[in-house]
Amino acid sequence: MVGNLKMNLLSKSERDHYFESFKKELTGKKLENTEIVLCPPFIHLEEFSKLISDKVKIGAQNMFWEKEGSFTGEISPVMLKNFGCEYVIIGHSERRRFFSENDEDVNLKIISALKVKLKTIICIGETRAERNSGETMKVVTNQVKEALKEISRTRADQIVVTYEPVWAVGSDILPTSHEIMEAKVLIRKILVELFGKKYAAKVKIIYGGSVNVKMTKQVCLDPEMDGVLVGRDSLTPRDLIKIAEIISDK
């Protein structure tokens, strides 16, 4: 499960408070077969890397595709790797919406992340307007194909595809288990086309968008997803770990 902390934890004291409460909530929890990937803002990555264990990994929320040089304000995949990240989120709908990231950027970032062995959490999903006009399948298909262009199937175990309908992110409106299941089946089918059956099975497919403790069954267990990406509720360590427990108990 992925906790996307977004642009939160504004001070050292807020960060430390989160940190302590996360550690406390995690103590004594078994969480078998479940990995929590915490994705804090860049500025907190180094501190959060102290949490790394067999159960907890650290991820970034974004990166640039170049390795180093004159790219003011950007963060490179090599930096992420060297500061303890094992994962990076790529193509989140907020990046696509507020920073005009397109499928080509997403593809370049994925290629570059995989090159330094960062695992990629790729976000795809349709907008409300696209769903209403019956374009969900088309949009999802295109986004997955474009994201994974030129990517070798041998990287399959380093790829997580997150189905995040844009209309469900930050909205408290969730798709039904059936809708999530449909998207999952479609994504798996495209992966089989791209990578072949054996390698496609190594890609994890998770759900994101308004996940909370109460809805974990509907969005993860019932549609048999491999996990979830949690935004707002990841800011409450108790909820985040509760969700991890529900997933781990399945």
Reduced DSSP (H G I as helix, E B as strand, rest coil) percent helix, strand, coil of the chain, to 5: 50, 15, 40
For ligand PGA, what does the binding mask look like between residues 180 and 209, x meaning CB under 6 A?
A: ----------------------------xx
DSSP letter for 88, please.
Answer: E
Amino acid at 187: I
Q: Which of 29, 131, 217, 232 binds ligand PGA (CB under 6 A)?
A: 232
Q: Is 169 in the site for ligand PGA (CB under 6 A)?
A: yes
**Smallest distance, Å, CB 171 to ligand PGA?**
7
User: Exactly one of 44, 86, 92, 126 is catalytic; which is it?
Assistant: 92
**Contact call for residue 230 and ligand PGA (CB under 6 A):** yes
Query: What residue type is assigned to position 181 of the chain?
Result: M
Q: How far is the CB of 172 from ligand PGA (least distance, A)?
A: 8
Cβ 209 to ligand PGA, closest distance in Å?
5
Span near ligand PGA by CB under 6 A; candidates 49-57, 139-147, 218-226, 230-238: 230-238
In which residue are the tokens 């969700």 written? 243
Angle, helices 12-26 vs 237-248, to 10°: value is 30
- State yes or no: is 92 an active-site residue: yes
Write out the H or E segment, with its range, that includes residue 183. Answer: helix 177-195
Token pair for residue 68?
Answer: 């180093």
- Is 14 catalytic? The answer is no
Asked if 246 and 32 count as a contact pair (C-beta separation under 8 A), the reply is no
- Determine if 39 is a binding residue for ligand PGA (CB under 6 A): no
- CA dist., res. 48 & res. 237, Å (int): 14
Q: Binding residues for ligand PGA, per CB under 6 A?
A: 4, 164, 169-170, 208-211, 229-232
- Catalytic residue list: 92, 164
